[in-house]
Amino acid sequence: MTLTTFEYPLEEWQALASCSGIPGTVKNMFFSEEIHEISQAKSVCASCPVISPCLKGAIEREEPCGVWGGQLFMNGKVLMIKRRRGRPSKIPRPEEQMPQIPVPEDLQDLLKTA
């Protein structure tokens, strides 16, 4: 399922965001439930110059869902792994694995993980 809205906080650093130039419908990948789309969103974040303030804001707002600052949020917590629906593969396929984006050191204490 792909969510159809992309809400982005109006912050001063928004113009520097790597996702700011992405067309609207493509931005839906930041709120997708599909692992390959979540991985694409995380890959955009990986080279974003404002990853730290973006992640900090998401932590403070306890984002209910979406990829923010390179991390996948669910109910205000960061999900380190996300499984596909159905029975998990005995041997994980590459498309089932999300890239792990390092959390900036200054934010590690703020992070809640599920």
Q: How many residues bind ligand SF4 (CB under 6 A)?
A: 12
Q: Which residues, in sequence order, are CB contacts of 24 under 8 Å at separation 6+?
A: 6
Give CA separation, 26 vs 12, 21, 31, 34, in Å: 23, 10, 10, 13
- The pattern of x and - marking residues 19 through 58 that bind ligand SF4 according to CB under 6 A reads x------------------------xx--x-xx--x----
Nearest to 77 by CA among 90, 92, 93, 61: 61
Does 98 participate in binding ligand SF4 (rule CB under 6 A)?
Answer: no
Does 70 participate in binding ligand SF4 (rule CB under 6 A)?
Answer: yes
Positions touching ligand SF4 (CB under 6 A) are 17-19, 44-45, 48, 50-51, 54, 68-70
